[in-house]
Structure 1
Amino acid sequence: MDILLKRATIIAPGDKNHLQTKDILVSKGKIEKIANNISAPKVKVIESDNLHVSIGWMDIGTHIGEPGLEHRETIDSAARAAAAGGYTDIAIMPIVYPVTHSKSEVSYIVNNQPNNGVRIHSIGAVSKDAKGEDLTEMIDMSRAGAIAFGDGLKSIKDSGMMMRALQYAKAVNKPIINYSIDKSLVHDGQMHEGDVSVSLGMQGIPSLAEHVAIQRDISLAEYTESELVLHCVSTEEGCDLIKKAIKDDINISATVSYVNLIHIDQDLKSFNSNLKVKPPIRSNRDRKALINSVKKGSIQTIVSNHVPLEEEQKKLEFSYAGFGATGLETCFAAVNTHLSEDIPLEQIISALTLGPRIQMKTYLPAIKSGEVACLTVFDPSISWTYESKKKKSISANNKYLSTSLTGKVLATIIGSKVNL
């Protein structure tokens, strides 16, 4: 299908067409022409009052259920949800059954690409079965196609293992992506430790647990001279450590979950289990520090932190409910709705495009004539409602169900694959 984008504002930092309004013709999977006014017969025209286009968005650290827990999410359903949310690429965390901890599991992921063109990348586990006891064969997994290594939302607790993992990853020029939290300080924590947790009678998860773990991981990255992505940072203290490490030229970068940019612990007074996530939503002070870090570039990537769970895991008393929420379909729209006055649109798009690709060292597309199309087409002004009957994810653990959001994805174009 040939596509003509009419009067689209191009978000492409560093390119001559950045913030220019142009027509873009995509033919046979390639960008054929970019001009002020294009007329072409027999094409699908996409137009909107405030049409925007960028290179395709990428999510890193996406959780699915395949293999083993397909009732939560399959590769195909995750790909459909990703396309609906504007993503052309997603990197899958290894916490499935069996865990992605050898070349055969990596091969299963990378060789089962969906029909809609969304590219599925594999993150291999650092430890066997993600138990934090024995290192995996990271070199074999790298050869099989793993783009990074991490144990998902299970922090690598042993410092010696973390150091060796960084060294092995460096040998194959791949990053470690680690959710940094000292689990010995968490115990049975259910939410952020603070006045709200006390008032609700909930066991808290202290900011100290993240502070201690990030400090350790930064020190190990500096010692090994390896590349580390600090995944889903949630505290002001973590932001401060990251800014200092970057200033000291340590090879680290960071991601933040979109939920932590929007919500705070006060929002849990309603006991909405779809806001029970890892990392926990924290204080407004923490939230403001995270927003500022995205604006200043010390946090480079916004992630959906997509963790699908079945209803039986979420419709429980808050203290018994599982941690996690879906996010692929709502990440951009929620951020655009709640943070458009705090973070410029082009900064949001950079954190969905350049940040993750630079961290994962994947191919960086371009909006130029002759390039294979890898585009996300959206209108940041359109209001829409995320409805259960129209959602693409199998799971429904999302705070934004039946909620009006502003900012709608109109298409993803991935080569000759077009998702409208």
Structure 2
Amino acid sequence: MNIILKSAKIIDSTSPFHNQVVDIHVKNGKIEKIAASITDAEANVIQLEDLSVSPGWFDTSVSFGEPGYEERETLVHGLEVAAKSGFTQVAIQSNNNPITDNQSIVSFIKQKAFGQTTEAFPIGALTMKSEGTDLAELYDMKNAGAVAFGDYKKAIDNANVLKIALQYVQDFDGLVLAFSQDKSVKGKGVVHEGITSTTLGLKGIPPLAEELQVARNLFLLEYTGGKLHIPTISTAKSVELIREAKAKGLHVTCSVAVHQLIFTDAKLTEFDSRHKVSPPLRDEETRQALLAGILDNTIDCITTDHTPLDIEHKKLEFDLATSGTIGLESAFGALNTVLPIEVIVDKLTAGRAIFGIETTRIAVGEIANLSLFSTQGTWTFNKENILSKSKNSAFLGTPMQGKVYGVIRQDKQTFIF
């Protein structure tokens, strides 16, 4: 590899070149030189309109299906989609078939993903078969390459199981993920409980269903110590509870999904199951509270929560459809309509520190781990913009701003220009 990125604006608050427009020379997988002007007769020169470069983005929650659900998405193709969407590294959820609850499946995912531009980091299930009863082989999975442990979209009802998990993983500095939704309070709810659910006649899920679990899980963390990550929070009270826990010094982090920052439950008036997600889309007041939580750093990172689903599971009556939306290919363009670019880059890269993955920065001598993009230009996300095998995007018809040009990671590259 021998590439010169011409006239690139660096977006990296940790770099001495932050907000400067410079040339970047990437050679043999490393940043060879950064200067106002660089020439190399043997280099491949890349000069793009309004080119910005940041540390490579890391998504803390994607699902690809393989093994078991290859009709939804495969590992190799999913990683290609991630690369074309600007992500150099992703954490892959455990909701395969079989569930990722042992070291052999972790090893399978690592081996199948080897050699791709985007690097895969498996998340192991916290409990066997994600049934919430017995702890899975956490230490063995850690040794095989798992970066965290959680049962995807399943809350641990038994508080003692979560307590023991938080205590056990401290022996090897493990990270526990605790999706927070009280099943008994949720009941048969399918959307946010509010004016829209009442108007449409759909059973509601009150914010209390999430907040009870968040409060309980924070109490457990205070008792046990250790590290807890609460993924995809969706209520203003959850933000407040986590803010208070951080002020106490608890080692808690959290994420929010892109679609929670863009949409509200007003999208549900057409009963379009593409907007059925878990946790559900909330109201405008809540969306603003989540954005405020991003800006004051209570919310640590943003995830696409990318969940491919085939038509048999998604194109159904709203009550029967499975929750989830794809989100990799629409993430940057959507976020760029609601947040400053420096905040977007920070929240799309902060997950590395949380998940124990080596952080990167744009400086001479550093290993190349770069996302290339433009912040300019408006467009609308349509079917032709979907790169995933599954087409269940909640973002169809959504205004976007900016576009991704591709990624460079070590000696690998994926460009879409």
Shorter-normalised TM-score: what interval?
over 0.9
Match of 1:249 in 2: 249
- Structure 1 residues 249, 289: closer, same or farther in 2, change over 3 A? same
TM-superposition CA deviations, 1:31-60 (whole Å, max 9, x none): 111001112224333333321111110001
Q: 3-state SS of the aligned residue for 1:149?
A: coil
The code of the aligned residue for 1:38 comes to I
Do residues 346 (structure 1) and 339 (structure 2) align?
no
Contact 2:6–2:24 (Cα < 8 Å) also in 1: yes
1:407 CA displacement? 1.5
SS in 2 for 1:147: coil
Would you say 1:417 and 2:415 are equivalent positions?
no
- In structure 1, what is the equivalent of residue 104 of structure 2? 104
Shift of 1:385: 4.9
**Mapped contact 2:190–2:205 kept (Cα < 8 A):** yes
The alignment status of 1:370 with 2:368, answered yes or no, reads no
Q: 1:259 aligns to what?
A: 259
Alignment of 1:233 onto 2:233: yes
Q: State the distance in 2 between where 1:142 and 1:265 align.
A: 38
Contact between 1:116 and 1:419, CA under 8 Å: does it hold in 2?
Answer: no
Query: In 1, are the aligned partners of 2:30 and 2:368 still within 8 Å (CA)?
Result: yes
Unaligned stretches of 5+ residues in structure 1: none
Letter in 1 for 2:344: I
State the TM-score, normalizing by the size of structure 2: 0.97
- Secondary structure in structure 2 of the residue aligned to 1:148: coil
CA distance in 1, matches of 2:385, 2:40: 32
Report the CA distance between 1:303 and its aligned residue.
0.2
Q: Which runs of 5+ in 2 are unaligned?
A: none
Deviations 1:122-178 (A, max 9, x none): 111111000111111211111111110000111122100011111122221021112
Q: CA deviation at 1:388?
A: 3.4
SS of residue matched to 1:318: coil
Residues 1:206 and 2:206 are matched in the alignment: yes
* Mapped partners of 1:308, 1:346: distance in 2: 29
Asked if the contact 1:166–1:176 (Cα under 8 Å) also holds between the matched residues in 2, the reply is: yes
Cα distance, 1:233 vs structure 2: 0.4
Q: Could you say what secondary structure the match of 2:319 adopts?
A: helix
- Paired letter, 1:132: G
Q: In structure 2, the residue corresponding to 1:111 is in which secondary structure?
A: helix
Q: Distance in 2 between matches of 1:350 and 1:116?
A: 24
Please name the residue that 2:85 is paired with. 85
- The answer (yes or no) to whether the contact 2:14–2:361 under 8 Å persists in 1 is no
> Per-residue deviation at 1:389?
4.3
Rounded Cα–Cα distance in structure 2 between residues aligned with 1:237 and 1:316: 32
CA offsets 1:160-211 (integer angstroms, 9 cap, x no match): 0011111122221021112111111111111001111011000001100011
Shift of 1:401: 3.5
Structure 1 residues 383 and 116: alpha-carbon distance in aligned structure 2, compared to 1, 3 A threshold: farther
Residue 261 of structure 1 aligns with an amino acid whose one-letter code is L
The CA RMSD measured in Å over matched residues stands at: 1.4
Matched residue type, 1:417: K
Structure 1 contact 149–169 (Cα < 8 Å) conserved:
no
The CA distance in 2 between the partners of 1:366 and 1:14, in whole Å, is 6
Matches of residues 9-158 of structure 1 in structure 2 within 5 Å?
9-158=9-158
Out of 383, 387, 410, the position equivalent to 1:388 is 383
Q: Which residue of 2 aligns with 1:196?
A: 196
| In structure 1, distance between residues paired with 2:38 and 2:330 | 32
1:185 aligns with 2:181: no
Corresponding letter in the other structure for 1:270: E
- SS, match of residue 280 in structure 1: coil
Q: Which moved more, 1:225-234 or 1:49-58?
A: 49-58
